[in-house]
Homo-oligomer: A and B are copies of this chain.
Amino acid sequence: MPQITYDAYREDVVGRANVSDTPELIDYYRRLRTLGTGALWTVANKIEPWQPRSSSVPMIWRFQDLRGDVLRALDLVTPEQAGRRVIYLENKGRSDVVAAVGWLYSGLQVMKPGECASSHRHSASALRFIMEGAGAFTNVDGHKMTLGANDFVLTPNGTWHEHGVAEDGTICIWQDGLDIPLMNALDANFYEVHPDLRQAISHPVNDSLALWAGSGLRPAGQAWAKRYSPLLKYEWAPTYEALSRYAGVSDGSPFDGIIMDYVNPATGGPVMPTIGATMQMLRPGERTKAHRQTGSFVYQCAKGRGWSVINGQRFDWQERDIFVVPSWMYHEHANASVTEDACLFSFHDLPVMHALGLYREEALGENGGHQPVLS
């Protein structure tokens, strides 16, 4: 029978717990256990680490490795059976929950022309980033939006939504990003199926862009009190143009190159209260410096190829690959091309960090700001 020890987390530092097990203490600890209690000093150093130690690990999922199996789902299950045909990404460090990193979920969804999932709503905030195919659409609270590659669309907390592909479209694959794990962790997850299974489209197609996509303009007299962006859809072409214009006048960030946040035009704030999203451009040959932040990130390469060094590990990526950066791990990015730019889409929980006053950021000071890469 293995000996249970209680003093595994001792630290010989003033101000930290440093109590060795004795027979008397072990008896005491056992008695406390029977009372639904414990001695804080046996776990204090564990639960109050000097700095965050994420249980998530950096990982990459390459599109070419997954695409075949994603498509295979088309033959294996119907949307009616499966609800949605999605292959989710599982972080090796988070065996306890279905999460790609931190409390963020990511999956690859596939759909055939003519299919449309049933409508539902939930507490989780969700987004889609289109990977391939033509004819995809998403409906949100009566607004239908048509979607092409690298378009980004929201299906926020509490909105009725459904996805489909037009009859004359092609097989479509997109990344789904959600904060399902956070909603469960916070014991706040509700789910409803639409009473009619399919919602009515009550507005002109893509009307949210006609109202809210103006540059520095908003429809007058249209109050917007909801906590997510009324724009709902962010198209790739104007996003890429905006990055290009920005690159023409600024060096951007030393850590992220030319980087822009997708925002709620009614507030200038994040697109949803619990998930933010960002697009960044690495110019030809650009290599950024390392920093670390409180917050978890799911990246998808939207254009080009390159690599990122995360916590000392190098991950090479190209279009449609997905990789994750856990909280408080150093990360830096490089564009592998000296002639083409590379673009990275990401979504993250920085709005949570900011809402709760927990955001911190730190640059790597040593080694010219670059991490040594572990072999």
Contacts and interface: CB of A to CB of B under 8 A. Distances in A.
B84 A41 contact: yes
Interface string A338-364: 000000000001001101111010000
A216 B197 contact: no
A278 B220 contact: yes
A351 B45 CA distance: 27
Given A19-B82, A84-B44, A356-B352, A250 B210 contact: yes
Interface in A182-225: 183-194, 197, 203-204, 206-207, 209-221, 224
Interface residues of A, number: 141
A108 to B, nearest CB: 8
A259 B187 contact: no
B212 A260 contact: no
A261 B219 CA distance: 6
Contact of A35 (B69, B105, B118, B224): B69
Interface in A254-285: 256, 259-268, 273-274, 278-280
A189 B242 CA distance: 36
A90 interface: yes
Given A28-B72, A36-B61, A122-B48, A246 B263 contact: no
A102 to B, nearest CB: 6
Contacts of A204: 248-249
A86 B259 CA distance: 42
Nearest to A358: B188
B220 A273 contact: no
Contacts of A54: 187
A1 interface: no
Contacts of A177: none
A180 to B, nearest CB: 5
A262 B250 CA distance: 25
Given A102-B187, A215-B215, A259 B221 contact: yes
Nearest to A70: B37
B15 A197 contact: yes
A221 B260 CA distance: 8
A249 B187 contact: no
Given A51-B190, A204-B248, A238 B215 contact: yes
Contacts of A92: 36
B253 A220 contact: yes
Interface stretch (A227-235, A310-318, A367-375): A227-235
A84 B17 CA distance: 8
Interface stretch (A73-81, A134-142, A166-174, A299-307): A73-81
Given A15-B197, A52-B190, A221-B256, 14 more contacts: A15-B118, A15-B193, A16-B193, A38-B90, A40-B86, A103-B185, A187-B296, A207-B249, A210-B246, A210-B250, A214-B246, A219-B259, A220-B280, A265-B268
Closest 4 CB pairs of A and B: A214-B242, A187-B327, A15-B193, A40-B86
14 contacts: A17-B83, A28-B69, A28-B76, A32-B69, A35-B69, A47-B98, A96-B96, A186-B356, A209-B245, A210-B248, A219-B250, A221-B259, A224-B268, A267-B268
